[in-house]
Structure 1
Amino acid sequence: MIKIEGLFGIVTLALWVFCLVDSIGSPADRVRNLPKVAWVIIILLFPFVGSIAWLVVGRPKSTNARRSAYEREQPGFPEYDRPGRAAAVDPEKDAEFLRGVRERAEAQRKAYDEQKKREREADGTADGAS
């Protein structure tokens, strides 16, 4: 009988320590249902019930809750690591694509310059007619 009570006490203590450390280490914006401080107080005052409640209804759902602050600021998949991202296979096609992009950009610049030139000329004639 004493061994069962001692085992229950050790399990409760281990659960209490785990939940207390987990609740303190969780980001405040990810904690569910109550503010983080309230969860810490509940876990401190009611070790067994508070710990179970934390695991069931308070703990963040995401497994990424324990990431560092730097990692949380970074997107989940940086552009170069994104799954399914197509990588260049043929350097010649890559160069052809870039050449086409440059030509389109230059054509757009020329069209823009021509449009601005026409607008300046229109403004000049409107000012001279007044």
Structure 2
Amino acid sequence: MFRYLPFLLVLALWIYAFIDCLNTPEEQVRGLPKVVWVIIILLFGEVLVGPIAWLVAGKVRHAPAGGSTPSEWHRNHRTEFVAPDDNPEFLKSLKAENKKDEALLKDWEADLRRREEELRRRERGEEPRAD
């Protein structure tokens, strides 16, 4: 079991560096283009040179310029989220869906009434009406 441990650690570091490189925005990549970093990680992963080079020199690891902390940077660069109850488009879609459901329910109720009436006529022995 322990003889596989070094191999698994190298594999884990290799996979982590590869995924980290792919998920890093282009503006946070240092030194080389992102594609070159991916190739370096893949080619030199077995000897740990590629993944370690990426982790040490490939990615900006400090706060962005301007004195803001990483959490402030993420707060300021997120997409604007609107709660569903404040989103007019979402509310319109709910109203439209509700109208469709009400129309479908009315059709089902009318069909049910028609079938019940037809069953009552059959029980009384009357001829079914042609609607």
TM-score between the two structures when normalised by the length of structure 1: 0.46
Q: Relative contact order: is structure 1 or structure 2 higher (C-alpha 8 Å, sep ≥ 6)?
A: 1
TM-score between the two structures when normalised by the length of structure 2: 0.46
Task: Choose between structure 1 and 2: higher helix proportion.
Answer: 1
